[in-house]
Structure 1
Amino acid sequence: MMKSIWKLVVGLILTLLSIPMILSGLMTINFFGKALGSADGWLSYWGGYLGAMLGLAAVTIATQFQINSQTKLHKEQLDMQMKAIDVTAELNDSKERNRIRMTYLLNKNEEILELLIDIQSLLVTYLNSITRYAEYHEKAFMTFSTYHNLSESNKTKDDKRLEELETQYSQQVKFKNQLLDENTILRIKIVEKLSILSAKGVHFKKFHLLDEKKYIESSLSEFYDEIESTREYRVLDKEFYKSAMIDLNKNVEQKGSLLLSRIDNIIVACESEAERLLEGIISGETE
């Protein structure tokens, strides 16, 4: 476009230079000598005519130049607007992707929170079942010991008392075994939920859920071994079994409190993370 304008300007300059020479030559021809009016008049006429033409040409060139400038400016503004639209679209797309990701993490966080609450509830029931087992195990041993001592004594046997003790012992053993079965089922459920928790926690490494899973499973194994060591009456020593049950209850209280406390800490961390994610989704902030 600029090249065309320059061609027009050069052509105009050449025209301006050549027209006076052409007019000067024409004025010497007899044909123009026969025309009405003097030479000065014709020169004035042609000067006005050519001046008007030059003025029109100048206006045309100026107008064309202005149109070209405005077109270029408009194109630049349009390009800037398109770039702004692209940047805005990219930003909105980034925000949308981030919102989707944070929503996904929020849902996973809620699933982890639900699992932790379930595990915590199961652990409370599991620890209570161990405490009840220790109670009935001690009662059953005391009944068995009394029965054994009474039946082995040299005194006259009290068959009715022995029968009562036998019935009482059977009931205590039955209930104790029910508690053991319940304890086993609870332990299996806890381990299953811990496995699910570990799998879902892959997006939240800062919670160290795999380490917590191993710690809880190790504690459950310790409880199991301790319970197994007291199931059979290896010695008829009341003080021994009473002390064993006291130790079992003490371990349940200490280790159980630590387990529940660690889960509480993770639950608090999950709730805090959920609040952070929710605020990010609402505000549109990126992580």
Structure 2
Amino acid sequence: MKFKLVIIAVVILLMAPIFIAKLLEINFFSFARGEVDTWIMFWGSYLGAIVGASVVYFVAQLQMKKQHELQIKAIKIENENSTRREMHHFYLTNKLEKIEEMQEHFNKLSSLVLQLNNDLLIFAIACEAIEKDIKSKRENFDPKDKCPLGIFSGRC
């Protein structure tokens, strides 16, 4: 349908100068001043300007439509990149939080191991002191207090 309209418009535009020239030769237009050649040039310029303006308008519309499509595509790409950056940032932040949490647990575990090591060392020293029946120079130190009940039965 659109193709037929374009063909009709082209035929009309091509036939318009011939039609106008024939109309100007009729006595009906005898009141118009000037020669037929002058009027043909006028109508040719007039119709040429209309055709030129129409072409410029359609080309501008086509250009704006293309530009609009390119802008939409660029916005979509930027949104995808932004989402990708945000997801990567979230992933790294989450990893960092987990590493910090693991470091905190490791610090607690290392202090617990250190405390356990100290308690084991005190226990071993106390057991050896009890076994060899060594008295401490400190007044309030009883090696039997350092051994848990039930473990000491003469020997640790």
Give the TM-score band, short-chain normalised.
0.7 to 0.9
In 1, distance between residues paired with 2:80 and 2:127? 69
- Tell me how many residue pairs correspond in the alignment: 146
Shift in alpha-carbon separation, 1:22–1:81, aligned structure 2, 3 A:
same
Shift in alpha-carbon separation, 1:40–1:34, aligned structure 2, 3 A:
same
Corresponding residue SS for 2:33: coil
Aligned to 2:80: 83
Corresponding residue SS for 1:184: coil
In 2, distance between residues paired with 1:10 and 1:56? 22
1:41 aligned residue (38, 41, 53): 38
Deviation (angstroms), 1:23: 4.9
8 Å CA contact 2:17, 2:44 repeated in 1? no
TM-score under structure 2 length normalisation: 0.78
Unaligned 5+ runs, structure 1: 1-6, 140-170, 172-177, 188-223, 232-244, 249-287
Pair 1:131 & 2:128 matched: yes
Deviation (angstroms), 1:34: 3.8
2:146 aligned residue (174, 178, 182): 182
Deviation (angstroms), 1:103: 0.9
Deviation (angstroms), 1:86: 0.6
In 1, distance between residues paired with 2:14 and 2:32? 19
Aligned to 1:16: 10
Deviation (angstroms), 1:71: 1.4
Aligned to 1:284: none
What is the RMSD computed on CA atoms of the aligned residues? 2.8
1:114 aligned residue (87, 93, 111): 111
TM-score under structure 1 length normalisation: 0.45
In 1, distance between residues paired with 2:46 and 2:67? 31
Unaligned 5+ runs, structure 2: 136-141
Alignment of 1:1-287 (within 5 A): 14-26=8-20, 27-28=22-23, 29-136=26-133, 178-184=142-148, 224=151, 227-228=152-153, 231=154
Shift in alpha-carbon separation, 1:35–1:18, aligned structure 2, 3 A:
same
Which one has a larger percent helix, Structure 1 or Structure 2?
A: 1
In 1, distance between residues paired with 2:50 and 2:4? 16
Deviation (angstroms), 1:14: 3.2
Percent identity between the aligned chains? 18
In 2, distance between residues paired with 1:80 and 1:123? 63
Q: Which has the higher contact order (CA 8 A, sep 6+)?
A: 1
Aligned to 2:138: none
In 2, distance between residues paired with 1:57 and 1:25? 21
User: Structure 1 stretches (4+) deviating beyond 4 angstroms?
Assistant: 9-13
